[in-house]
Amino acid sequence: MSSVQDIEECPQCGFTEAIYELNTRTLEEWLSCPLCGYWSALRALVDRKRQAADPQRRPFYKKTASGHLIHRRITRAGFGVLYVAYARMGVQRRFTHPPTPELISEIVAGLKADPEVIFDHCYITTWDVDEFRVNGAKELRGAKELRSVLGELPEAECTVEDPALAFELEQ
């Protein structure tokens, strides 16, 4: 694997152990916050047509005339996180919209009913923001404190057991 992992401060909520990963070959990078769900990535553009035509579906990266990869930044605001703890690992999911109280009740009931889940180690956070558009660009307004609606939040020294899982939803 040509990737390096590290921790960085989350630009949205300030958590000091957001998970950072850098692919040293493609110079792609990811930052994912296990507390508020902020997510940002620098991705190398892939030629989808060439990839689809390749029997092994290898990624063919788009390049500039001088042979450099072309990167694009993608950033998603954190609306909160659901962390589901199992005996040997944990799975982190980001909310893509502010979760409603009904959705949270549903999730909590689901966690309680699942015998594989270690309920006491799960957590849910929410971050109250309104998303709106100015001249077509996404803006956020009304960011308040991060709220914990279930469980104990990780301390700064805690880490998500398998950071790759945090990125899974966005691939």
User: What tokens appear for 34 in the block?
Assistant: 């296990």
111 φ/ψ angles, rounded to the nearest 5 degrees: -65, -40
Contact positions with Zn ion (CB under 5 A) in 5-34: 10, 12-13, 15, 33
User: What are the strands, taking DSSP E only, across the chain?
Assistant: 3-8, 18-23, 29-32, 39-44, 71-76, 81-85, 90-94, 123-127, 130-134, 137-141, 146-150
User: What tokens appear for 86 in the block?
Assistant: 């199992």
Going by C-alpha positions, the residue among 144, 120, 127, 110 that lies closest to residue 33 is 127
DSSP per position, 137-154: EEEEE----EEEEESPPP
Among residues 38 and 95, whose Cβ is nearest to Zn ion? 38
Our finding on whether 84 is near Zn ion (CB under 5 A) is no
Interface pattern 35-74 for Zn ion (x via CB under 5 A):
xx-x------------------------------------
Among residues 36 and 166, whose Cβ is nearest to Zn ion? 36
Our finding on whether 122 is near Zn ion (CB under 5 A) is no
> What is the C-alpha separation between 40 and 89, in angstroms, rounded?
23
The site for Zn ion, by CB under 5 A, has a size of 8
Our finding on whether 166 is near Zn ion (CB under 5 A) is no
Among residues 36 and 111, whose Cβ is nearest to Zn ion? 36
Q: How far is the CB of 112 from Zn ion (least distance, A)?
A: 26
Q: How far is the CB of 65 from Zn ion (least distance, A)?
A: 38
Q: Which residues bind Zn ion (CB under 5 A)?
A: 10, 12-13, 15, 33, 35-36, 38
